[in-house]
Every structure is written in structure tokens, then in C-alpha cells.
Amino acid sequence: MIFVIDIGTTRVKAALFDDRGTCLNLGATDLSPSGQHSFREIDAHLWLDALRELARKILGGAGRESARAADVLRAIVVSGNGPTILPIDTQGEPLASAITWLDRRALHESEEASKALHYPLDAAFNLPKILWLRRHEPVLYERAAYFVSCPEFVIGRLTGEWTTCLPNQGYTRIVWDMAAISALGLDAGKFPRFARIGEVVGQVSTKAAVDFGLPARVPVVMGGPDFFASLLGTATVAPGRTCDKGGTSEGINLCSSKDAGDVGALLVMPHLVEPYFNISGVISTSGAAVSWFKENFLPSKSYKDYYAMAATAAPGASGLVFLPYLEGERSPHWDPDARGTFIGFGLHHDLAAAGRAVLEGTVFAMREVLEVMESAGAYVEDMRATGLPALSPVWNQIKADITGKRVMVSTFSEPELAGCFAIGSWALGDVPSLAEASEQVFVPAHVFEPNPATVGLYDELYSIYLESYRKLAPLFSAVAGIQRRLGLSQPGLSQSGLSQSGLSQSGLSQSGLSQPGAGEEEP
């Protein structure tokens, strides 16, 4: 058996698989934000609490098969959100809240680091955040024994081994390397050794076994950043396949046979599966935009009610266009000052139209990312949707209609966990390659084809969407400046600073990967 855990931004998921890929038990728990600005910072103890809770539920709650897991558990695989940075002491205790990937306080540091290193570094990446800590929290910087990200922290607490996940050498710019650390004058001793995805980092220590309710001496495998688990769980391991990782944000990752070069607006890195490349773009607030709309305008309704309401509005939302830039935007604009906007409101619009426009706006952003990929010479065949948004048929159909691409949803509702299982089975030598392990865990349950009847309307609205950002960008910058002066908006900086120490399916897939029932509604 293999126990897998994926630590997302807003919730933590875990599952127990047998060696054939059958899911014996599946669970999730929500995280609570530690600050006023929803998950820009988070108390890392929440990740540990979630692991304790899920280990107890999953390893002790699936009947006879799960009850004997302590005797037959072969590996634990951990993946998690990022780029997220957490300072810890020599005992692995957090010295402050983790600065999550949503936090963009390190804008000035990213600009300085980019000039010093002669390549672009976004404020969300690891090194700018650590530079920010050195400048603004010097005592905290000095006290830190190590800087780790989310999955590395949990793995370290399980094994006592501190590492940094480096998927392959091409990712040093996002993570770090010794040359960059030296050039920026950082303390090399605070940066743990590298570990690759699929590497057995260590074994569950006796202390951790007692603490988390896990069997001791079980190998713990590096699952790395959760988007890699999504790639594997959706079999995005052949050219043309695109993983649409939905959630608070939207990660679009295309497997390409060619190096698209310096696209600028996107990231081009070596794929986990050689000799391919991974072309990626991230939309900052997709699920977050939906959550924002529901919580503010439909607070007493469920997400299921929200989707049903949006489905009553006609395609095109009666000519209403939404720009989903509620926390700035990353790909392809990389504009921290961009702001959410409705274009075209009239007296004839109602909540259903506005709710549908929010869904459509997130997909216009996805289409823009896909078009940049294709303009660089890449080929996009399909989209493989993951995350809770993938459980919404209306959202999936909108994705197909606006992008013009087939959208597929896996039989198993949690591709990140399926990807972790693929990593574990490869690490244990059960399959010869990650690609083969990935192909075995993905079977489409639902396929959404583009509706030809909506092509003309969506093309017209998409043109308005593109032109709206171009014309409003200077105003976004001016408004963001005013908001910052009023203390209402600072890119990624919480007002409190660093806090010391957030559809039911069942059955057996053709590949043998199955799951028990799971109930989720949030995006």
C-alpha cells in the first residue's frame, strides 16, 4: 500500500492506494487562513495538523484493508503548494508563518535579483522572498536554520532530513543554485540539499510515528510541487496534452516536443519526462474569483447552486465581460497592479449573467495563455481538468467552448493524489518509468467537446476581453497606487506583517485506479 498526501493552498487531501492503484480510502480537510489576506501567509502547523487528522481517518477508517496498513505500508508520498517559503529552526520548528505563492511582497527584491542574476525572477519565487526576509525581518533571517517549502517541511518533520525539491536542473532559476546564492550574498548553509521527485528522502522516524500515527521506518518519497503531481495524474506526458490544474489559481501546463524558447509571458522548463518540455502559465485568481463572487453575492448558496444559476444564463452572459484580476495577474501579463473588472453592465443583467461572466472571464484568461503557447510554435491538443472546478459540468463546457479544445475529466476526482501514487509506484520500482506510471492512472470519465454554435460569439467577446486589459492597464496602475496609499492593497503584503508562531464518485477505472465516494463543492 502507498499513502499519499497533497497539501494545497486551501485544503489538504490524502489517500491510501493498494499496489494495483485501487483507492481504499480518500479524505480531505480544509485549512484556515492565518491572516487577513487569505492564504498569503499560513501557519505551517496547520499542515501538520491536517496530516495527523488524515492519517487517523484514512489509515484507521477504511475497514480491514486500511486497518492492516501499518503492517503493509510500503511508502508515503508528499506533494504540496509552492513557491512557498518557510523559515525553520534546527529542530524543524517554524519561526514564522509560511509566505505562500500568492504573496507578492518581494517585488523590489525580485527586480534587484533579476538584475544581479541576469534572468527574470518573479516576486512569487523563492529567492526574492528570502531576500525580503533578510531586508525586512533581519532577526528572523539570522535565526533561520533552513528555508524550506511546503512538501519539504512535512517530509522533514516525518524523516528529520531537510531537503529542497529540484525536479530537474532546469528548475534552478525558480528554486535556487549555489551561484545565485553567492551572487545575492545569502548564507548557503540555510539552503538544504537538493532532492529529486521520486527520491526516497528517508524513513518515518520513531518520534514522527508517534506524533502522526504512522508506522515507523516507512520510506518517505519526495512528491515535490503539486503541479507535477497534477501532470502525472492527468497523463500530461506526451506532446499536445495540457493539464489544467484548477483551484484558487489556475495552472496551465503543456507537454511540448519543442523548446518554445524565451516566451517571456510563460515559463518554459524541461518536462519530468525526457526529452519533452513543460510550457506553463498561471492565472492568479480563477477559483478565487468564483469564491469571491459567491461569498459576496450568494453567501447563503452552495457552489452547486452557484453553478446551476450560472447555467441558466445564456452563453456570453448577455454581453458582459469579466477580467478576473483580483490579485493582479501572472501569465501572460505579469502585472501585480491589474484589477478585476466587469465590462458592459446594463439594467438587463442579473446575478445569473454576472455569475456566468465570472466563469467565462477565467476561461478567457486560459485561452489567452493557450494562444501565447501556440504563437510560440507549441501544439495544444486537449485540456485535462483537475481540482474542484473540474467537478462543475457548466464550467468544463465553458472551457471547451471558449478555448476550442476538448476538455477531459478523470475517472478519479483527485489527479494530484493519483500523480503521487504514480511517483510512489515508480520510486518503489513497480513500473519502469514515470511516464508509464502516469499513463496507468489516468482514464477520462467525461469529455466535453467545443460547441460550434458559440464560436462566433465567444471570439467577439474574447477580443473585447483582450482589448479591455490593454486599454485599462494604465488605470489599473493608478487605482492600485491609490489602494496602497489607503492601506487597502499592497502586493502580497499582509497588514499584520509576518505572524509568528489555509460529486461523489465511485467505481473502478480501466487502469485499476479507483476511489470511494468523495463529496466536495468548492472551486
pLDDT in tens, 220-279: 999 999 889 999 999 999 999 999 988 888 989 999 998 887 777 888 889 999 999 999
d(C-alpha 248, C-alpha 10), whole Å: 8
Q: How would DSSP label each residue in 156-190?
A: HHHHS--EEE-SSGGGTTTS--HHHHHHTT--GGG
Average the pLDDT over 512-523 and give the result.
44
Query: What average pLDDT does this structure show over 12-38?
Result: 83
C-alpha cell at 371: 494562444
Phi/psi region, residue 245 (left: phi>0; alpha: psi -120 to 50; beta: rest), is: beta
List the single range of 432-446, 480-494, 503-517 with lowest mean pLDDT: 503-517
Secondary structure (3-state) at 453: helix
Give the per-residue pLDDT at 399. 98
Mean of all residue pLDDT scores within the chain: 89
What nine digits make up the cell of 100? 505562500
Q: Burial, 488: exposed, middle or buried (Cβ in 10 Å; 0-12, 13-18, 19+)?
A: exposed
Question: 291-298: long-range contacts (C-beta < 8 A, 24 or more apart)?
Answer: 291/248, 291/522, 291/523, 292/326, 292/340, 293/354, 293/355, 293/358, 297/351, 297/354, 297/355, 298/351, 298/355
Q: Can the peptide bond before residue 450 be classed as cis, meaning omega within 30 degrees of 0?
A: no
pLDDT tens figures, 296-315: 999 999 999 999 999 999 99
The angle that helices 126-136 and 107-117 make with each other, rounded to 10 degrees, is 120
- Looking at residue 464, the DSSP 8-state letter turns out to be H
Q: Which domains does the chain have, with CATH numbers?
A: 2-217 (3.30.420.40), 236-415+443-492 (3.30.420.40)
Q: How far apart are CA 135 and CA 115, in angstroms?
A: 17
CA triple 321-322-324, angle to 5 deg: 155
323-336 pLDDT tens trace: 999 988 989 998 98
Phi-psi region at 96: left, alpha or beta (left = phi > 0; alpha = psi -120 to 50): beta
Kindly state the helix (H) or strand (E) to which residue 13 belongs, with its residue range. strand 11-17
So what's the pLDDT on residue 212? 96
- Average pLDDT of 436-459? 96
Question: What is the pLDDT confidence band of residue 171, given thresholds at 50, 70 and 90?
Answer: confident
pLDDT in tens, 47-91: 999 999 999 999 975 445 445 666 789 999 999 998 999 999 999
Q: Which three cell numbers stand for residue 160?
A: 528529520
Q: What is the Cα–Cα distance from 234 to 55, expressed in whole angstroms?
A: 25
CA distance 94 to 91: 9
**Residue 505: band (very low, low, confident or very high) from pLDDT cuts 50, 70, 90:** very low
The three cell numbers locating residue 292: 469571491
CA angle (172 as vertex; 166, 177 as ends), nearest 5: 100
- pLDDT above 90 covers a percentage of the chain that reads 73
Would you say residue 506 has pLDDT above 60?
no
pLDDT at position 509 is 32
| Burial category of 271 from C-beta neighbours within 10 Å (exposed 0-12, middle 13-18, buried 19 and up) | buried
Instruction: With cut-offs at 50, 70 and 90, classify the pLDDT of residue 512.
Output: very low
Task: Evaluate if residue 340 carries a pLDDT over 50.
Answer: yes
H/E element, 241: strand 241-245
CB 32 within 8 A of CB 495: no
